[in-house]
Amino acid sequence: AAGVIQSPRHLIKEKRETATLKCYPIPRHDTVYWYQQGPGQDPQFLISFYEKMQSDKGSIPDRFSAQQFSDYHSELNMSSLELGDSALYFCASSSGGGYGNTIYFGEGSWLTVV
Amino acid sequence: GEDVEQSLFLSVREGDSSVINCTYTDSSSTYLYWYKQEPGAGLQLLTYIFSNMDMKQDQRLTVLLNKKDKHLSLRIADTQTGDSAIYFCAERGGGGADGLTFGKGTHLIIQP
């Protein structure tokens, strides 16, 4: 079965640079979530989208922005990168605007800021 | 805000049952989830339970929910070395595309 696809799987950026992560949800899923997991930490919710509209907002820094496109894929844009942004970034998807009960995660994108 | 608590470590012998416990504070939680994360890997959805249920069984996994005490547990029968991982409890509050609140995760260590 198709899963949540994230790209790139790994990237290395320098401080103050910009990075963009992409997420392709499971087919027919209309809801996308972004999470950040620091080393040894639990995943922290950043932001979610339903039908291309922002739905819920968590601890997303102002330097980050995201959107969901007409084909339901989503991109997380991170600017003015800091060392503390080094983390594993997960995308997850579900259907039904979040009322669906199954939320599936991608394998994550490892971001290292040097 | 919501809070989810888990023990950080659990050590069991191969073949025994593992019971991982979780407590949460949000009384409006609708769904509660268990995810498994192996080293360097993503989050694998193991199972979930709706808040109006008190038990759910799926092969070797049994989830028990005590809504009054806001206590959730995951029992893994006949624990194998492949079960070694971090297990995250997560809860979702009200409707809409609300984000999940995760616990810190329980490291399950399997002794031979």
Q: Map tokens 């739905």 to a residue.
A: A55
Mean pLDDT of B22-51: 90
A48-95 pLDDT, tens digit each: 999 999 998 999 999 999 999 999 999 999 999 999 999 999 999 998
B63-101 pLDDT, tens digit each: 999 999 999 999 999 999 999 999 999 998 765 678 899
Cα→Cα distances B112→B12, B14, B74, B79, Å = 9, 5, 21, 10
Neighbours of B73 (CB within 10 A): 16
Mean pLDDT of A30-56: 93
Mean pLDDT of A100-113: 90
Beta carbons of B100 and A45 less than 8 Å apart: yes
Q: Take residue B61 and report the two structure tokens written for it.
A: 């996994």
Cα→Cα distances B8→A42, B26, B55, B102, Å = 11, 21, 24, 13
* Residue A99: pLDDT over 70: no
Beta carbons of B45 and A103 less than 8 Å apart: yes
Smallest Cα distance from A91 to chain B, Å: 10
Smallest Cα distance from B19 to chain A, Å: 20
User: Cα–Cα distance between A9 and A31 in angstroms, integer?
Assistant: 21
A103: chain B residues, CB-CB within 8 Å? 33, 45, 92, 100
A22-31 pLDDT, tens digit each: 999 999 999 9
Amino acid identity, residue A82?
E
Confidence of residue A101 (pLDDT cuts 50, 70, 90): low
Beta carbons of A101 and B48 less than 8 Å apart: yes
Beta carbons of B48 and A107 less than 8 Å apart: no
